Amino acid sequence: MENGTPLPSTSIQRLCLLHAYEALGKTLCDLADELPQLAVVVADYGRRLFLDRLRKDHPEDYVQVGIAEQNQVSVAAALALEGFCAFVPSYAAFITGRAFDQVRICMGSMKAPVILIGLSAGYDSGTLGATHMATEDAALMRTVPGVLVLSPADNAELVVMLRQLAAHPQPAYIRITGASEQSCLHVKGLPQKAMRPETLRSGHDVTIFATGKICKEALHAADILQTEAISASLTEVPCLNPFDAEAARKATAKARLIVSVEEHSVRGGLGSALREALSTAPSAPPLLTLGTPLAPPSADTRPALLHHVALDAQGIAASIEAFLGSPVA
């Protein structure tokens, strides 16, 4: 996978069968075997991340700080500034919200090359209630100068991101959504440095941009729209910061409507990045921003919550058709 060599399709298929945390844990264990100075700093959550092999074979690489996310970031920053490749997995809601001051100072001002991994982003922890759901994490991280904000659409892309950051550490945040969902959107292979927007489906009426595991729902929504004689393209956006404004402007040049789809607030995430990019374009079609509403979510399962806010495939398609003036029955 070095120097942009594609991840083989067979590896992608195997990865897609795993829970995202298993793909994460296996990759971190492999990296511990490969890198002399790797640190995985956890805040109590480590037992659920398939890190037993790392704890057994490289106990010095496993740092447990307890339920203390502010300390987690500070300890990781100290290690990173001393030359360690520091990965920091924790609940997305806490590692970005509760520890934001440490993130802002250590990763923004001090430029510590810490790699945060936001677990249970979006509605993944829906059954635990609003406190554990993260629908504003990307917005927070996009405001911190110099921090790479990533949102993988499947496990293959997640693994590629982890390996790329291990090879070239920098301040970064990876948000994991739909952790238990088996989806494979990169069946043709994935180069190690592929963090640019990728067109997964071509169309000419509507240009859909999506990020994270919700890309699967957006792809199914495009299928539904096709049955209603609406041709929709789908562009997957793995990197929210820095945002590829030029690629966005090119992709939207001939569309009747631009749509953003994200398992994140309608403020501060993909939709906002698109709006910022298109604001300097000479002309652009209307932009429909689909995401989580500006209200605390109720406790429920992820599929139920996505359905409730019209972020499943049928809801996405219905919102697009309603905007175009021909709502789905």
**204 and 95 co-located in one domain:** no
**170 and 301 co-located in one domain:** no
85: enclosing H helix or E strand? strand 85-91
Nearest to 43 by CA among 101, 98, 123: 98
Task: Say whether pLDDT at 5 is over 60.
Answer: no
Q: What's this model's pTM, rounded to 2 decimal places?
A: 0.94
Task: Say whether pLDDT at 186 is over 90.
Answer: no
Q: What's the length of the chain? A: 329
Residue 192 forms part of a structural domain: no
Residue 88 forms part of a structural domain: yes
Range of the domain at 47: 2-175
Q: Which residues of 248-257 are buried (b: 16+ CB within 10 A; e: fewer)?
A: bbebbeebeb
Structure tokens at 96: 């970005």
> What's the DSSP call for residue 123?
T
Instruction: Select from 130, 160, 175 the last residue of a domain.
Output: 175
Structure tokens at 157: 């892309």
pLDDT tens digit string along 43-99? 988 788 999 999 999 999 999 999 999 999 999 999 999 999 999 999 999 999 999
Question: Rounded to an integer, what distance in angstroms lies between the CA atom of residue 324 and that of residue 242?
Answer: 31
Q: What's the Cα-to-Cα distance from 287 to each of 127, 131, 141, 164, 271, rounded to whole Å? A: 32, 30, 23, 32, 8
Residue 28 forms part of a structural domain: yes
Question: Rounded to an integer, what distance in angstroms lies between the CA atom of residue 266 and that of residue 274?
Answer: 11
Question: Rounded to an integer, what distance in angstroms lies between the CA atom of residue 329 and that of residue 36?
Answer: 59
Please, which residues bridge with residue 62 across strands?
Answer: 40
Question: Rounded to an integer, what distance in angstroms lies between the CA atom of residue 324 and that of residue 231?
Answer: 12
**142 and 219 co-located in one domain:** no
**309 and 269 co-located in one domain:** yes
Question: Rounded to an integer, what distance in angstroms lies between the CA atom of residue 130 and that of residue 182?
Answer: 25
**84 and 135 co-located in one domain:** yes
Cis peptide before 242 (omega within 30 of 0): yes
Q: Is 225 helix (H, G, I), strand (E, B) or coil?
A: helix
**61 and 149 co-located in one domain:** yes
**160 and 229 co-located in one domain:** no
The total of structural domains in the chain comes to 2
Average pLDDT value over all residues in the chain: 92
Question: Rounded to an integer, what distance in angstroms lies between the CA atom of residue 272 and that of residue 290?
Answer: 11
CATH number at residue 240: 3.40.50.920
* Cβ neighbours of residue 247 closer than 8 Å, sequence gap 6 or more: 196, 197, 235
**156 and 284 co-located in one domain:** no
Residue 329 pLDDT = 38
Residue 107 forms part of a structural domain: yes
Residue 4 pLDDT = 46
* Cβ neighbours of residue 30 closer than 8 Å, sequence gap 6 or more: none
Residue 127 forms part of a structural domain: yes
Task: Return the number of other C-beta atoms located less than 10 Å from residue 216's C-beta.
Answer: 20
Residue 152 forms part of a structural domain: yes
**66 and 207 co-located in one domain:** no
**85 and 150 co-located in one domain:** yes
Task: Say whether pLDDT at 238 is over 60.
Answer: yes
Percent of the chain with pLDDT over 90: 80
259: enclosing H helix or E strand? strand 257-265
Residue 184 forms part of a structural domain: no
pLDDT tens digit string along 256-303? 999 999 999 999 999 999 999 998 877 888 999 999 999 999 999 999
Percent of the chain with pLDDT over 70: 94
Residue 275 forms part of a structural domain: yes
CATH number at residue 12: 3.40.50.970
Residue 92 pLDDT = 98
Residue 46 pLDDT = 76
**130 and 210 co-located in one domain:** no
**167 and 222 co-located in one domain:** no
291: enclosing H helix or E strand? strand 287-292
